[in-house]
Amino acid sequence: MPDPFRPPPYPYDRLEPLKALAAAHEGGSVDLSVGTPCDPPTSAVVAALAASGAEAGYPPSIGSPAFREAATDWLRRRFGVETSPAAVAACVGTKEFVASVPHLLRLRDPAKDTVLYPAVSYPTYAMGALLAGCRAVPVHVDDQWHLDVSSVDDDDAARALCLWVNSPANPTGAVDDLSAAAAWARAHGVPVFSDECYVEFTWTGPGHTILEHGVDGVVAVHSLSKRSNLAGLRAGFYVGDAELVTYLSEVRKHAGLMVPGPVQLAAGVALADDEHVEVQRDRYRDRLGLMRSAFTAAGAEAPAPEGTFYLWVPAPDGDAWAFTERLAKEAGILVSPGEFYGPAGSSHVRVAVVQPTARLELAARRMRAIA
């Protein structure tokens, strides 16, 4: 008999013992451990939510025509990419999509059993493999944290249901070469899912989608959570290869996955507006600068990320848990030890600059005091 499945501890629950230490500081703890936005969504989005009139009936699982059109309009505006609304489908935030894709792909192709994902990455890629009873095979990232698709073993590629890429990347901030990922997908006949939820927070130049390199064999995954401060709404979409999007949206319809009607309407309003994203970009840029100099002052040099709202900071003596504990105890700051994102991240900590600037200034003052 196989062992019964027991979910592992949720990564952030492992920080529980440090929370009381951080909270004991005058002014309380400054929680930079989770990438949850703290700034408000626009009032137009909140008004749309309240006035949608979409509460009574079941919403379309694939997404309303207005929501899907808002998504294709945004792709055109932001990236110059033309897609048909028929190639877009809604998801209930993207975490559930990331976690469930391997299971759904395996139903279609039971002979394959492997999910490929970046060696240092958002933990849900590996979790989706585990939940589908698949092998989770990490793909090498280089010393600048960029994904090295050329390193994938041929046997692993032959067994792969999909490869996940994430650019800009959580937790490292790395911006990847998405043309290489798209070419790899086509050369190996393995779908590439490109998680692009941080694309609006690209700092090295304009943000990119994998769809700029064609849609065959690739699916881009987008979220409203970070772009528009709507993590509480649970709205995202996936778009790309018509056959893959059709298959996934059909199965997901049977499974009852639906973005609530009022949320679809409000998410469409958010996608149609780019101004609030500019405001948010400025906030994160300032906060990244503020916390980078605070970490440097405390003896932990934090490189500038290529994207995202995370700093990926080498622990001064290579021990990320010890550094995490020290920050909680001595500065009342909670961060995430890099091990949450894979063993190759175990000498770094991730710092999410998602607290209001005044809280980050408090954190920076405390850090300077422990330097």
Helix (H) or strand (E) holding 267: helix 261-271
> How many angstroms separate the CA atoms of 304 and 102, rounded?
33
By C-beta, is 95 or 146 nearer to ligand PLP? Answer: 95
As a whole number of Å, the end-to-end CA separation of the chain is: 54
By C-beta, is 61 or 332 nearer to ligand PLP? Answer: 61
> How many angstroms separate the CA atoms of 268 and 67, rounded?
5
Show the CA angle centred on residue 345, arms to residues 343 and 348, nearest 5°. 140
By C-beta, is 323 or 340 nearer to ligand PLP? Answer: 340
AA letter at 296: T
By C-beta, is 202 or 225 nearer to ligand PLP? Answer: 225
Half-sphere CA count of 170, side-chain side, radius 13 A = 22
Site for ligand PLP in 104-163 (CB under 6 A): 122
Burial class (CB within 10 angstroms; exposed 0-12, middle 13-18, buried 19+) of 347: middle
Specify whether the CB–CB gap between 113 and 160 falls below 8 A: no
Residue in 33, 42, 170, 202 binding ligand PLP, rule: CB under 6 A: 170
Residue in 18, 31, 35, 193 binding ligand PLP, rule: CB under 6 A: 35
By C-beta, is 59 or 118 nearer to ligand PLP? Answer: 118
Is the preceding omega at residue 168 within 30 degrees of 0, hence cis?
yes
In angstroms, give the least distance from the CB of 197 to ligand PLP: 5
Binding track over 225-244 against ligand PLP, x by CB under 6 A: x-----x----x--------
By C-beta, is 83 or 167 nearer to ligand PLP? Answer: 167
In angstroms, give the least distance from the CB of 92 to ligand PLP: 8
In angstroms, give the least distance from the CB of 195 to ligand PLP: 5
By C-beta, is 201 or 323 nearer to ligand PLP? Answer: 201
Residue 326's CB is within 10 A of a number of other CB atoms, namely 16
> How many angstroms separate the CA atoms of 118 and 198, rounded?
16
Beta bridge mates, 239:
88, 220
Binding track over 55-94 against ligand PLP, x by CB under 6 A: --------------------------------------xx
Residue in 33, 100, 166, 167 binding ligand PLP, rule: CB under 6 A: 166
Interface residues toward ligand PLP, by CB under 6 A: 35, 93-95, 98, 122, 166, 170, 195, 197, 223, 225, 231, 236
